[in-house]
Amino acid sequence: MNIYDFDGTIYDGDSGADFLKYSFKHKPFRVTSSIIKTFFKYLKYKRGKVEFKEVKETLFSFVKYINNLDEYIKKFVDKHKKNIKKFYFEQKRKDDFIITASLDFYVKPLCRSVGIKRVVATKYDISKSKIIGNNCKGEAKAKVIKKMFNKKFENLYTDSKNDAPIIKYANNTYIVKKNKIIKFDENYKFKNSIFNFDFIIFVFCGGLGTLTNFLCSSLISRKLNPVTAYVIGYSISLFVTYILNMIYIFRRKLNIKDFIKFVISYIPNFIILFLFVYIFINKIGLNKYLVYLLAAVIGLPITFIILKIKAFKDKK
CA–CA dist 148, 152 (Å, integer): 11
Q: In the predicted model, what is the mean pLDDT of the chain?
A: 88
- Of the three residues 156, 183, 210, the one that is the final residue of a domain is 183
Kindly state whether residues 167 and 211 are assigned to the same domain: no
pLDDT value at position 316? 44
Asked if residue 287 belongs to a domain, the reply is yes
Instruction: Confirm if 58 and 35 have CB atoms less than 8 A apart.
Output: no
Asked if residue 269 belongs to a domain, the reply is yes
**Per-residue pLDDT reduced to its tens digit, 38-83:** 988 888 887 788 999 999 999 999 999 999 999 999 999 999 999 9
Kindly state whether residues 9 and 42 are assigned to the same domain: yes
CA–CA dist 181, 159 (Å, integer): 10
Kindly state whether residues 29 and 175 are assigned to the same domain: yes
Which tops the pLDDT comparison, 197 or 168?
168
Kindly state whether residues 19 and 110 are assigned to the same domain: yes
From 75, 84, 79, 304, select the one nearest 207 (Cα to Cα): 304
Kindly state whether residues 273 and 136 are assigned to the same domain: no
- Indicate the pLDDT class of residue 178, thresholds 50, 70 and 90: confident
Residue 240 pLDDT > 60, yes or no? yes
pLDDT value at position 76? 97
From 52, 62, 73, select the one nearest 24 (Cα to Cα): 62
pTM exceeds 0.75, yes or no: no
pLDDT value at position 312? 44
The secondary structure of the chain, three-state, reads CEEECCECCCECCCHHHHHHHHHHHHCHHHHHHHHHHHHHHHHHHHCCCCCHHHHHHHHCHHHHHCCCHHHHHHHHHHHHHHHECHHHHHHCCCCCEEEEEEEHHHHHHHHHCCCCCEEEEEEEECCCCEEECCCCCCHHHHHHHHHHCCCCEEEEEECCHHHHHHHHHEEEEEEEECCEEEECCCCCCCCCCCCCHHHHHHHHHHHHHHHHHHHHHHHHCCCCCHHHHHHHHHHHHHHHHHHHHHHHCCCCCCCHHHHHHHHHHCHHHHHHHHHHHHHHHHHCCCCHHHHHHHHHHHHHHHHHHHHHHHHHHHHC
Asked if residue 242 belongs to a domain, the reply is yes
- Of the three residues 183, 210, 242, the one that is the final residue of a domain is 183
Kindly state whether residues 212 and 171 are assigned to the same domain: no
Residue 117 pLDDT > 60, yes or no? yes
- Of the three residues 159, 183, 207, the one that is the final residue of a domain is 183
Asked if residue 188 belongs to a domain, the reply is no
Kindly state whether residues 136 and 255 are assigned to the same domain: no
**Per-residue pLDDT reduced to its tens digit, 192-210:** 554 466 666 777 777 788 8
CA–CA dist 298, 276 (Å, integer): 9
Asked if residue 191 belongs to a domain, the reply is no
Asked if residue 189 belongs to a domain, the reply is no
Kindly state whether residues 209 and 244 are assigned to the same domain: yes
Please compute the mean of the pLDDT values over residues 115-120 and round it to a whole number. 94
Please compute the mean of the pLDDT values over residues 107-120 and round it to a whole number. 95
Kindly state whether residues 207 and 245 are assigned to the same domain: yes
What total number of domains does the chain contain? 2
Domain span at 272 = 197-315
pLDDT value at position 265? 81
Kindly state whether residues 178 and 217 are assigned to the same domain: no
Asked if residue 190 belongs to a domain, the reply is no
- Here the CATH number for the domain that contains residue 178 is 3.40.50.1000
**Per-residue pLDDT reduced to its tens digit, 257-275:** 888 888 888 888 899 899 9
- Whats the size of the chain, residue-wise? 316
Kindly state whether residues 218 and 134 are assigned to the same domain: no
Asked if residue 192 belongs to a domain, the reply is no
Residue 32 pLDDT > 80, yes or no? yes
pLDDT value at position 192? 55
Kindly state whether residues 223 and 123 are assigned to the same domain: no
